[in-house]
Amino acid sequence: MTGFDFFGQAFLGPAPPVVVLDCAGDFGQFANGFLVARPSQLDFIVDWRVPSVYPVNGGGATQVLSLNSAELSFVVQYEGYRAAYYVNRLDGTISQRPNLGGVFFGRCAPKPYKPEF
């Protein structure tokens, strides 16, 4: 049976329960004590079954706010600030909204999750 994953890419069989969202864009980072947009890479391990999100590039506790066929939204606690993320599951775009202000954008692609020990 042929289906589509959440970015419209064909796959055979059910979607994998755990993926890595590989996201590139201009995301908020600190520079000289100020929050600025910088080209950067963010990766999140997403377990669709739980649901849970784990930030690979730093950050601590996460809270999944919404998960449905059109969106995934979650909050990540970083050192000194929190950031809310909204992933459009239809086109792969992501927005980041830090509690310190600003909106930053990028694009995500799902990659296979390979546990490392």
Q: What is the CATH number of the domain that holds 87?
A: 2.40.160
Q: Does any domain span residue 10?
A: no
Task: Give the SS3 label for residue 79.
Answer: coil
Handedness of CA 8, 89, 106, 58 (dihedral sign): negative
Q: Which residues of 12-51 are buried (b: 16+ CB within 10 A; e: fewer)?
A: eeeeeebbbbebebebbeeeeeebebeebebebebeeeee
Confidence (pLDDT) at 52: 93
Q: Does some domain include residue 8? A: no
98: left (phi over 0), alpha (psi -120 to 50) or beta: beta
Mean pLDDT by 10 residues, the chain (117 residues): 42 70 85 74 92 91 92 92 94 93 91 83
State the pLDDT at residue 74. Answer: 97
Any domain includes 3: no
pLDDT of residue 5: 47
pLDDT at 31: 67
Overall number of domains in the chain: 1
**What pLDDT shows up at residue 97?**
94
Residue 2 forms part of a structural domain: no
- Evaluate whether residue 93 is within a structural domain: yes
pLDDT at position 44, please?
96
Q: Write out the residue range of the structural domain in which residue 60 sits.
A: 15-112
